[in-house]
Amino acid sequence: MALKTRLSWAEMDHNEELLLERIVRRSSGQERGPIPEFLAKKQAEQEPKTWLGYRTSLTKLCEFVGPEATVGEFTEAIGHSFLTALRDRDLSRNTIATYFRDLKTFSRWMFDKGWTEEDRWARLKRPKFVRPKFDTLSSDDKQTILADFNPNTFLGARNLAVLSIFLDTGVRLEELVNIQTQRVRLDAGYVEVYADKTDEWRIIPLSPETVEICQHYLMIRAEFLEKPVKHRDRRRTPRTLQTDTLFCSWRGEQLTENGVGQMVRRLRARLGKGGMDVHIHPHLFRHNFLTEKALDGENPSIVRRWAGHKSYEMTDYYFGLADQKMAAIRPKRSSLAGISPLRKKPGRILGTERHQVRRRCTHGDLLPCHLRHHKGERQPA
pLDDT for residue 179: 95
Q: How many CA atoms lie within 13 A of 68 on its CB side?
A: 0
Instruction: Determine the Cα–Cα distance for residues 379 and 369; give it in Å rounded to an integer.
Output: 7
In sequence order, which ranges of the chain are alpha helices (DSSP H)? 34-45, 48-65, 76-88, 93-113, 139-146, 154-169, 173-176, 208-226, 257-273, 282-295, 300-307, 312-321, 351-361, 369-374
247, 245, 227, 246: which is closest to 237 by C-alpha? 227
Is the whole-model pTM more than 0.75? Answer: no
CATH 1.10.443.10 in the chain, residue ranges: 139-276
Residues of the chain with CATH 1.10.150: 21-113
CATH T-level assignment (fold) for domain 139-276: hpI Integrase; Chain A (1.10.443)
Q: How high is the mean pLDDT in each 10-residue block of the chain (381 residues)?
A: 63 87 84 93 88 94 92 93 90 89 94 92 86 76 92 95 94 94 94 86 94 95 89 82 93 93 93 85 90 84 88 77 57 64 57 51 46 47 46
Q: For domain 21-113, which architecture applies?
A: Orthogonal Bundle (1.10)
Q: Any residues with CB less than 8 A from the CB of 22 and at least 6 apart, and which?
A: 29, 30, 31
Q: How high is the pLDDT of residue 48?
A: 85
Residue 375 contacts by C-beta under 8 Å, 6 or more apart in sequence?
367
Backbone angles phi, psi at 274, to 5 degrees: -85, 0
How far is C-alpha 218 from the geometric centre of its chain's CA atoms? 26
Please give the Cα distance from 20 to 206 (Å, whole number).
Answer: 50
User: How high is the pLDDT of residue 29?
Assistant: 83
